[in-house]
Chain A
Amino acid sequence: MEEMDFVKHADKINELLARYGVKFGIYKNNVFNEQLFPFDPIPRVIERGEFARLERGLKQRVLALNYFLKDIYSKKQIVKDGVIPEDFIFASSGYLAECEGVMPAKGIYSHISGIDLVKGKDGVWYILEDNLRVPSGASYPMIARELCRRSAPDLFQKASLEDNRNYAGQLRRVMDHVNAGGHTVILTPGRYNAAYFEHSYLAEQTGAHLVTGSELIAENDRLYYISSNGTKEQVGAVYRRISDEYLDPMTFKAESLIGIPHIFEVFRKGNVALMNAPGNGVADDKGIYYFVPRMIRYYLDEEPVLSNAPTYLPFYREDMQYVLEHFDRLVLKDVAEAGGYGVVFGDSMTKEQKADFIGLLKREPRRFIAQEVIDFQDLDIVDQGKIVPRKADLRAFVLMADEPLVWKSGLTRFSRNTDSFIVNSSQGGGFKDTWVLSQ
């Protein structure tokens, strides 16, 4: 395999990544630690035909999720028609009543979607979760590819693979498509955010200004950027990398110091685009995940191309029954948690823990989902000079301008330990480039 040629460049590339500041910040016990996000030189390779199928399924899914968001914050037809119970909408922490009746520019809610998938040992791809709020990670394969090209340029001339360096250009198109008139900025919480490298890298690559909340001001239903020499210039689109609840202290959390007072009113009046739109959390909730295949049928009148991992909702009596009967082989997830937290495997619990958990499950059935543990394919990684298998997933990025566009690459993350199924970067794993073959 020719991609193995990279192995000998691995150290050099990781050294370059460190120099470029490709890091991932993690909060543990309230202490902020920045650690390198280890790059593994062996790329994940996806055949052309296989990716074409993923592409169709991802476009379909993101389209349906967008229709869902538009529907939920207006007519709620899908609830009225009994496809999704009301319990999974209004009680969801991602549902924001403040967004009722506010229509984002061109009806686009999820401009940048990060959809996590795994490939089972049976060769079938399963959707693990949708991330429609502030999905991060595109910058890592972008810069890794760039550095690999530099260290082994001849190899890329031989390999027939899709160029992934167009992400920034496509992202810029998405920004321009919804821009309400004025500058485009990337709003970062600042230097101590886990994904700060990505914010600065994407700003550099797209030509957008990288700003913090204190450099923006909402005035007379317009948003302005205060430049370093004190001039005020109008902003038409904000790719915001801060979460909904911190966005506007006059609308959401009053104690937010990183937000912009009244930015939400500017958005409501249609004078600035917020990417992604506030309120998207109601669609990437782990409880709502269960209903996405139904959404696809409901809004698009199509059969889903990609499957969910088999999922059970204890909310439904028969699903609860199933979960109790097959507890040991299921993985249970708290719908309110993210980043690999709140995930427990039935067979890893002691008898006592299990009894406690079942009690909790019965008291708060809406809070959990249960899934079959998918035995997903291992990918080879290089660990201290040896090739070893690790669990890995794929975060695919879907950009939405006039129509959805799937980036022909993606972030492949792998677990740190042999026996771990959890690949989130916040849990200390590493990443790979994702190659999509062009022929």
Chain B
Amino acid sequence: MLHFSYRMEIRYENPVGRCYFTIKCIPREDARQRLLDLKFSISPETTCCFGADAFGNRQIYGCETIPHDRFVFQAEGDVEILRTDYEEKAAWENVGIFRVSHGKCVPGPGLTSWYRSLGIAAPGEARSSGVCGQDRPLGVAVLGEARSSVVCGQDRPLDIAALGEARSSVVCGQDRPLGIAASGEARGFEGQDRPLGFADSAPGEDRGGSGGDDYGICMALMHRLHREFPYIPGKTSVSTTAEEAWSLGGGVCQDYAHIYVTLLRMAGIPARYVCGLIIGEGASHAWAEALCGGRWVPFDPTHDRPVTEGYIKLGHGRDAADCAINRGLMWNGGAQSQIISASVEQ
């Protein structure tokens, strides 16, 4: 069982008279995780509505009508991780939308030419297992060292300047590997050595090749991305697209997830962007899920590893905007700063 908490505070230079909000910070419930306990609070206090968006992400929305210069919301609770392999069977009708490029995950010239240089066959073309095989030894070499420099956690602050401050206190969970993480990594090196039954090809899987091949491509692409795209906080913002992040030459978890999702879709593998929390203290995290053998399999390109037990999924979508933790609409307010804190512990 994991205990999580997430808090966002927004401070306004001038009081805000009216502010609409849509908050998506409640863990999803699916085959992999169950929400056991939840407390949610918001300040100033106001009436909230509850629902789910088109992707099934839980949302809390409403309107602040009392003038305020500080807006705070906090969610806290317990999540039970039901399956360590963390996979979810895909419903056919929910797959297609994650196959097409969209929003912040549209490849431009930079990503297109890089993708081409990787030698991954285009969708529909037959792919030999050798294509991804060549990357594997390199991926292995890079894994350990690169991760030590990773500082994780980016949310979607409205004010970038404020983010630096918020992030300075952020240390991410990657230094505290769980036992499971290790086995996940080991599995990663092997590429297609999957403990799961990939034989059952789902109806959504209409491309050539088995899910095993796709898993191998996912791993290879993740290794390459991690190797060639350095983790550099402050270069990008919440509105940066995959293509922009790539040409800036570095970024944070949102950028890794955006680029990764873009690459997977270019390879013909449906992929979705995931927003969530990770064990440790800091801010929110982002990763991606790819359709392999009819199941959504999560990968964390920021850490170059498959997702393990220490992850809590909040939402998913085509890109970060679909599952933004906070979307607000306000008048006046002036400059704003944001303080985010998140924690997950066992």
Residues of A at under 8 Å CB distance from B? 74-76, 79-80, 86-87, 89-91, 97-102, 219-221, 249-250, 254, 261-262, 265, 268-269
| CB–CB A250/B54 < 8 A | no
| CB–CB A90/B322 < 8 A | no
**Of the candidates A79, A80, A261, A268, which one forms a contact with B51 in the assembled complex, judged by CB atoms under 8 Å apart?**
A268
| CB–CB B93/A90 < 8 A | no
The reply to whether the CB of B168 lies closer than 8 angstroms to some CB of chain A is no
| CB–CB B327/A80 < 8 A | no
| CB–CB B100/A90 < 8 A | yes
Query: Which residues from chain A contact B71 at a C-beta distance below 8 Å?
Result: none
Taken together as a complex, chains A and B put the C-alpha atoms of A221 and B22 apart, in Å, by 13
Query: Which residues from chain A contact B329 at a C-beta distance below 8 Å?
Result: 249-250, 254, 261
Query: Which residues from chain A contact B93 at a C-beta distance below 8 Å?
Result: 74-76, 80
| CB–CB A102/B54 < 8 A | yes
A144 nearest CB across to chain B (Å) = 42
B48-99: which have CB < 8 Å to A?
49, 51, 53-56, 61-63, 92-94, 96-97, 99
Taken together as a complex, chains A and B put the C-alpha atoms of A250 and B326 apart, in Å, by 11
Knowing A90-B97, A250-B22, say if A98 contacts B54 (CB, 8 Å): yes
Q: Which residue of chain B is the closest to A77 with respect to CB atoms?
A: B93
Knowing A90-B97, A250-B327, say if A100 contacts B54 (CB, 8 Å): yes
Taken together as a complex, chains A and B put the C-alpha atoms of A261 and B18 apart, in Å, by 11
Q: Which residue of chain B is the closest to A76 with respect to CB atoms?
A: B93
Give the residue among A98, A102, A254, A265 with the most B Cβ atoms within 10 A.
A265
Query: Which residues from chain A contact B54 at a C-beta distance below 8 Å?
Result: 97-102
| CB–CB B96/A90 < 8 A | yes
The reply to whether the CB of B318 lies closer than 8 angstroms to some CB of chain A is yes
For the residues of A in contact with B, the DSSP-based class is loop
The reply to whether the CB of B20 lies closer than 8 angstroms to some CB of chain A is yes
Taken together as a complex, chains A and B put the C-alpha atoms of A221 and B47 apart, in Å, by 11
Query: Which residues from chain B contact A89 at a C-beta distance below 8 Å?
Result: 96
Q: Which residue of chain A is the closest to B318 with respect to CB atoms?
A: A97
Please, what's the 1-or-0 string for B91-131, where 1 marks a CB less than 8 Å from any CB in chain A? 01110110110000000000000000000000000000000
Query: Which residues from chain A contact B94 at a C-beta distance below 8 Å?
Result: 100
Query: Which residues from chain A contact B61 at a C-beta distance below 8 Å?
Result: 250, 262, 265
The tally of residues in B whose CB lies under 8 Å from a CB in A reads 24
| CB–CB B100/A220 < 8 A | no
Taken together as a complex, chains A and B put the C-alpha atoms of A54 and B96 apart, in Å, by 36
Between-chain CB contacts (< 8 Å), 9 pairs:
A79-B96, A86-B96, A90-B97, A101-B54, A101-B56, A220-B47, A250-B20, A262-B63, A265-B51
Q: Which residue of chain A is the closest to B98 with respect to CB atoms?
A: A90
Please, what's the 1-or-0 string for B304-328, where 1 marks a CB less than 8 Å from any CB in chain A? 0000000000000010001000010
Query: Which residues from chain B contact A100 at a C-beta distance below 8 Å?
Result: 54-55, 94, 97
B33-47: which have CB < 8 Å to A?
47
Give the residue among A75, A80, A89, A261 with the most B Cβ atoms within 10 A.
A261
Query: Which residues from chain B contact A268 at a C-beta distance below 8 Å?
Result: 51
Knowing A100-B54, A261-B20, say if A220 contacts B49 (CB, 8 Å): yes
| CB–CB B322/A80 < 8 A | no
Taken together as a complex, chains A and B put the C-alpha atoms of A425 and B35 apart, in Å, by 56
Query: Which residues from chain A contact B327 at a C-beta distance below 8 Å?
Result: 250, 254
Query: Which residues from chain A contact B56 at a C-beta distance below 8 Å?
Result: 101
Query: Which residues from chain B contact A99 at a C-beta distance below 8 Å?
Result: 54
**Of the candidates A76, A101, A250, which one forms a contact with B96 in the assembled complex, judged by CB atoms under 8 Å apart?**
A76
Query: Which residues from chain A contact B62 at a C-beta distance below 8 Å?
Result: 220
Query: Which residues from chain B contact A262 at a C-beta distance below 8 Å?
Result: 20, 22, 49, 61, 63
Residues of B at under 8 Å CB distance from A? 20, 22, 47, 49, 51, 53-56, 61-63, 92-94, 96-97, 99-100, 203, 318, 322, 327, 329
Taken together as a complex, chains A and B put the C-alpha atoms of A72 and B284 apart, in Å, by 33
Query: Which residues from chain A contact B49 at a C-beta distance below 8 Å?
Result: 220-221, 262, 265
**Of the candidates A80, A98, A220, A261, which one forms a contact with B92 in the assembled complex, judged by CB atoms under 8 Å apart?**
A80
Query: Which residues from chain B contact A249 at a C-beta distance below 8 Å?
Result: 329
**Of the candidates B47, B53, B63, B99, which one forms a contact with A90 in the assembled complex, judged by CB atoms under 8 Å apart?**
B99
Taken together as a complex, chains A and B put the C-alpha atoms of A262 and B20 apart, in Å, by 8
Q: Which residue of chain A is the closest to B20 with respect to CB atoms?
A: A261
Query: Which residues from chain A contact B99 at a C-beta distance below 8 Å?
Result: 86, 90
Q: Which residue of chain A is the closest to B59 with respect to CB atoms?
A: A265
Query: Which residues from chain B contact A76 at a C-beta distance below 8 Å?
Result: 92-93, 96
Give the residue among B20, B56, B92, B93 with the most A Cβ atoms within 10 A.
B93
Taken together as a complex, chains A and B put the C-alpha atoms of A268 and B59 apart, in Å, by 13
A86-B96, A265-B49 provided; 10 other pairs, C-beta below 8 A? A75-B93, A76-B93, A79-B96, A97-B55, A97-B318, A97-B322, A98-B53, A219-B63, A262-B61, A269-B51
B274 nearest CB across to chain A (Å) = 16
Query: Which residues from chain B contact A80 at a C-beta distance below 8 Å?
Result: 92-93, 203
Taken together as a complex, chains A and B put the C-alpha atoms of A86 and B98 apart, in Å, by 11
Q: Which residue of chain A is the closest to B203 with respect to CB atoms?
A: A80
B332 nearest CB across to chain A (Å) = 15
Taken together as a complex, chains A and B put the C-alpha atoms of A400 and B343 apart, in Å, by 52
Q: Which residue of chain A is the closest to B47 with respect to CB atoms?
A: A220
B209 nearest CB across to chain A (Å) = 18
Taken together as a complex, chains A and B put the C-alpha atoms of A268 and B97 apart, in Å, by 20
Taken together as a complex, chains A and B put the C-alpha atoms of A249 and B20 apart, in Å, by 10
Taken together as a complex, chains A and B put the C-alpha atoms of A100 and B55 apart, in Å, by 8
Taken together as a complex, chains A and B put the C-alpha atoms of A291 and B51 apart, in Å, by 35
Query: Which residues from chain A contact B20 at a C-beta distance below 8 Å?
Result: 250, 261-262
Taken together as a complex, chains A and B put the C-alpha atoms of A87 and B93 apart, in Å, by 14
Query: Which residues from chain A contact B318 at a C-beta distance below 8 Å?
Result: 97
Q: Which residue of chain B is the closest to A268 with respect to CB atoms?
A: B51
Taken together as a complex, chains A and B put the C-alpha atoms of A98 and B51 apart, in Å, by 13
A159 nearest CB across to chain B (Å) = 51
Taken together as a complex, chains A and B put the C-alpha atoms of A97 and B99 apart, in Å, by 13
B296 nearest CB across to chain A (Å) = 16
Q: Which residue of chain B is the closest to A96 with respect to CB atoms?
A: B54
| CB–CB B96/A97 < 8 A | no
Q: Which residue of chain B is the closest to A90 with respect to CB atoms?
A: B100
A93 nearest CB across to chain B (Å) = 11
Taken together as a complex, chains A and B put the C-alpha atoms of A79 and B203 apart, in Å, by 12
Taken together as a complex, chains A and B put the C-alpha atoms of A80 and B95 apart, in Å, by 11
Knowing A220-B49, A250-B329, say if A97 contacts B97 (CB, 8 Å): yes
Query: Which residues from chain B contact A74 at a C-beta distance below 8 Å?
Result: 93
B48 nearest CB across to chain A (Å) = 9
Taken together as a complex, chains A and B put the C-alpha atoms of A102 and B53 apart, in Å, by 9
Query: Which residues from chain B contact A221 at a C-beta distance below 8 Å?
Result: 49
Taken together as a complex, chains A and B put the C-alpha atoms of A250 and B21 apart, in Å, by 8
Taken together as a complex, chains A and B put the C-alpha atoms of A74 and B97 apart, in Å, by 12
Taken together as a complex, chains A and B put the C-alpha atoms of A79 and B61 apart, in Å, by 34
B21 nearest CB across to chain A (Å) = 8
Query: Which residues from chain B contact A91 at a C-beta distance below 8 Å?
Result: 100
